[in-house]
Amino acid sequence: MPNPKKQNASQKGGAKFTKLAGGVNGQSEIFECSANHISKVVRELQANGVGLQGTSGATQIATLRRALKFRGARGLNTYEGTAAGYARLATRIQDLEADGWIIASYRENLIGPDGLYHAGIARYVLIGKRQNMQPAQSELGLEAA
């Protein structure tokens, strides 16, 4: 049996690499999330005063909100957040959401710092703060009598 020539995805007419986080809707591009890229993100956060300064949960939550606000539409993906020092980034996102913050979660395909393809890695983008929140119990008629 002949040995087929190896081709990467873009040679096959499939996904293409990009330096920008993208492919969220069409998933046609693969974000290259190299160690160099991640280092730049961490340096950017530190240089702008939104880098993590402590490991306590409260510190991580407060700093993560500021970091996401600073990053805007670029947000942070799981690899970037982990490199920036956030332990269990998805849990910290849930903590922020419990405090009334709206955070969009997008899935992106990327080549990680390990050089391997990873499908569906989360990218989190801060949308804003919920206004006029009603406790869920009152909406459901479950408030205490």
CA 136 to CA 116: how far, in whole Å?
Answer: 42
Exposure class string for 98-115: b at 16+ Cβ within 10 A, else e:
eeebebeebebbbebbee
Please, which pLDDT band fits residue 128 given cuts at 50, 70 and 90? very high
- For residue 145, being part of any structural domain is answered with no
Give the H/E segment covering residue 94. helix 89-98
Q: What is the DSSP letter of 142?
A: -
pLDDT digits (tens, 9 = 90+) for 33-42: 999 999 999 9
- For residue 8, being part of any structural domain is answered with no
- For residue 4, being part of any structural domain is answered with no
CA 20 to CA 99: how far, in whole Å?
Answer: 30
- For residue 3, being part of any structural domain is answered with no
- pLDDT over 60 at 27, yes or no: no
- For residue 55, being part of any structural domain is answered with yes
Q: Per the structure block, which two tokens stand in for 34?
A: 């190299």
Counted domains in the chain: 1
How much is the average pLDDT of 119-127?
A: 96
Give the predicted TM-score (pTM) of the model: 0.73
- For residue 5, being part of any structural domain is answered with no
- For residue 21, being part of any structural domain is answered with yes
- For residue 7, being part of any structural domain is answered with no
CA 110 to CA 122: how far, in whole Å?
Answer: 10
Domain extent at residue 30: 17-140
Look at 133 and 62; give whichever has higher pLDDT.
62
